[in-house]
Amino acid sequence: MARLLEGKPIAEKIKEELRQAIINLEHKPVLASIMVGENAGAEAYVKSQKKTAEGLGIVYQFHKLSGDTSEGALIDFIQKLNTDNSVNGIIVQMPLPAKIDYKKISQFILPTKDVEGLHPANIGKIVFGKASILPCTPAAVMELLNSTGVDLYGKEIVVVGHSEIVGKPLSLLLLDKFATVCVCHIGTSKAGKLAEHVKTAEVLIVAVGKAGLIKGEWIKEGAIVIDVGINRVADKIVGDVEFEAAEKRASYITPVPGGVGPLTVTMLMRNLIEAAKLQ
Ligand code: NAD
């Protein structure tokens, strides 16, 4: 039976380190958060960011822009925050209205204030193993793996999902540890090869957003399983992996909720402190 890999205890330990780092800063760090229009999911995430930030002694500066804000007006707003020396980090909440292109927007956040670690300059630094600001979810996954004490060198790792915010940057971080990384995605499933790859994984990380995609019987005996997926099924939140069957085979497995999620927002705050030091 697998050991549960919970995010909260790790997050608490990191938060303690962050509190100490914040005490040593000259000023309380300021995180500027921009939300365009209304969205229940984003509002819940904002609430959790604010609570975590304020619990650490970070100033959470919330800017709510109307739903009809144009792309140009949002860029102007970001640029004002870029030049505001009192602001250490900027986060633009997702989702944005359809007429605004997030990939374009993320390029306008100053790389040293990009607390989500998604500016092309910060993503690019990962390729060279030189990143100081990492995308939050991949950073959370690396912390979870680190907490197991596993040596990733030469390990067979399968990442399912190749998005810009999770799978792609995570694969680079794992390569940097000299793991053998196989990245699966919709093309792998369409080719009927997902099970075949997943079965080889000594470490399996899944970030797709499809409940029950990964069957319990595909899990290699003793594998470490990190489930990033968040799916609402009949009023319950579940991941992408069939948990009950998988936990019988894995050595470690993250619960959903309670695994990756609690660490992601902590990584955002760690990035803010890193950004404050860079400025
Ligand atoms: P995305 O939609 O951008 O990417 C989904 C990925 O899954 C793509 O690479 C796609 O090719 C792949 N995919 C889709 N269907 C597939 C299939 N049938 N078989 C194999 N691969 C398939 O998603 P994202 O933004 O990376 O998020 C993925 C999941 O992770 C979502 O459930 C999201 O809610 C969750 N998430 C959780 C956290 C957290 O903090 N816990 C953070 C970010 C994302």
Specify whether the CB–CB gap between 128 and 109 falls below 8 A.
no
Q: What is the pLDDT of residue 119?
A: 95
φ and ψ at residue 210, rounded to 5 degrees? -135, 110
**Of all helices (H) and strands (E), which one includes residue 145?**
helix 136-148
CA of 171 to the centre of ligand 1 (A): 14
Q: Which two tokens stand for residue 224?
A: 């470490």
Comparing 24-110 with 136-261, is the CATH topology the same? Answer: yes
Whether 55 shows a pLDDT value over 90: the answer reads yes
- Position 278 confidence tier, pLDDT thresholds 50, 70, 90: confident
How many other CB atoms are found less than 10 A from the CB of residue 62? 13
Query: What span, in angstroms and rounded, lies between the C-alpha atoms of 92 and 258?
Result: 24
CA–CA dist 80, 43 (Å, integer): 23
> How many whole angstroms from 144 Cα to the centroid of ligand 1?
18
Does the Cβ of 142 fall within 6 Å of ligand 1? no
Domain ranges of the chain: 24-110, 136-261
Indicate left, alpha or beta for 188 from its phi (over 0: left) and psi (-120 to 50: alpha).
alpha
Ligand 1 contact via 53 beta carbon (within 6 Å): no
Asked if residue 180 has its Cβ within 6 Å of ligand 1, the reply is no
Q: What is the pTM of this model?
A: 0.97
Q: The domain 136-261 belongs to what CATH superfamily?
A: NAD(P)-binding Rossmann-like Domain (3.40.50.720)
At 101, the amino acid letter reads D
Which CATH superfamily, name and number, covers 24-110?
Answer: Leucine Dehydrogenase, chain A, domain 1 (3.40.50.10860)
Q: Give the tokens for residue 9.
A: 């205890």
User: 192-216 pLDDT, tens per residue?
Assistant: 999 999 999 999 999 999 999 999 9
